[in-house]
Amino acid sequence: MKNILFIIGTRPEAIKMAPLVKEFLKYPLQFNIKVCVTGQHRQMLDQVLNFFGIIPDYNLNLMQPNQTLFDLTAFGLKALERVLESTNPDILFVQGDTTTAFVGSLAGYYKKIKVVHIEAGLRSGNKYSPFPEEGNRILCGHLASYHFAPTIEAKNNLAKEGIHENVEVVGNSVIDALFLGLSLIKENEDFYYHHFKTIDFSKRIILVTAHRRESFGEPFEDICSAIKNIADKFEDVEVVYPVHLNPNVQEPVKKFLSGVKNVHLIAPLDYALLIWLMNKSFLVLTDSGGIQEEAPSLGKPVLVMREVTERMEGVKAGTAKLVGTNKEVIFQETAKLLTNPHEYSLMAKASNPYGDGQTSKKVLNYIMSELNIGVLTKA
């Protein structure tokens, strides 16, 4: 039996790690699975773990008010030292580009434990955008022993940095999570319609998620202005915007969008509610990373309100379009999708480059081979 440790800190990590944890848990005779949460995002993290039925073995509770990256890194590294000494893992898993992923990779390296990096090889090309994520993902790449890249482009990014060994293209586990999540909620449609009872689903739904710190200030005001213009121009749409709690988001959103007739400003959504709403949407305006990958699997065009994205595969495949934060461009590209069925169809029917929902099985099979485990038998 091999000891496997999954380290998770934020909601996006939990979403993308959940199907992997569930896949490995199917084989308790071969793997002793432990899950450690750092609590980098506490409440939102718990929502996802509860939804997927995952109970952490360790909870570091690192999140403190007004915490800096210095605090999170230092406290996290020391806390993980104790977890690694307790669990003695043969392999530990980290995901993505968070401070938790970086600290987990560094802790594993210090203990000479093999680190598996899920969603390896994403690069924006600018180490300060997004910050600190771009730096974290580069550092994880050079500390990890196994690199599971979502796309060929991500694999090529690693090759440019001299990382060639144990690199596998497996798709993105966020698609596994999406399909698993939708299967869990499909029996409870009435609950979800009731939750969103103020929204008119006979109209076309535009889902908006925007909260990135590099857009704070004038760029964010431009995003809000564009959304207002869209709502004013197209009365047959319902704009639904779960608004991040950060004051830098709340203030411009309320300034531009409060009281606009067909704009619904709602509280942040848990994962189940978000994917249900995404599945009911006509298109998505976002600066989120995960949604750029998820929405195309549901046939939803994505307009990315960022100047750069580390997920260019979607742009190249035609499932997403990079529109920046210019209010005229955002309005024009949204209007094009709302008024031109051909343009809409080109994006909605484009093939999603991020996978087919089989990522977790591919990772399991690779690790099984690396650990010299024979034919797996489920419990």
Identify which of 253, 263, 172, 264 has the alpha carbon closest to the alpha carbon of residue 210.
253
Identify which of 374, 378, 307, 362 has the alpha carbon closest to the alpha carbon of residue 149.
362
- What b/e sequence results for 180-193 when a residue is b if at least 16 CB atoms lie within 10 Å of its CB, and e otherwise? bbbeebeeeeeebe
Catalytic residues: 97, 119, 133, 211, 213, 244
Place of tokens 């060639």: 164
User: Strands across the sheet with 283-286, in order?
Assistant: 263-266, 237-242, 204-209, 283-286, 302-304, 320-322
The answer for 18, left when phi > 0, alpha when psi is -120 to 50, beta otherwise, is: alpha
> What is the total residue count of the chain?
379
Token pair of 180 as six digits = 């698993």
Token pair of 9 as six digits = 């800190």
Half-sphere exposure of 78 toward its Cβ, with a 13 Å CA cutoff? Answer: 7
Q: Is residue 66 packed enough to be buried (19+ CB in 10 Å), middle (13-18) or exposed (0-12)?
A: exposed
Cα dist. 291→72, 168, 252, 315, 320 in Å? 26, 23, 22, 13, 10
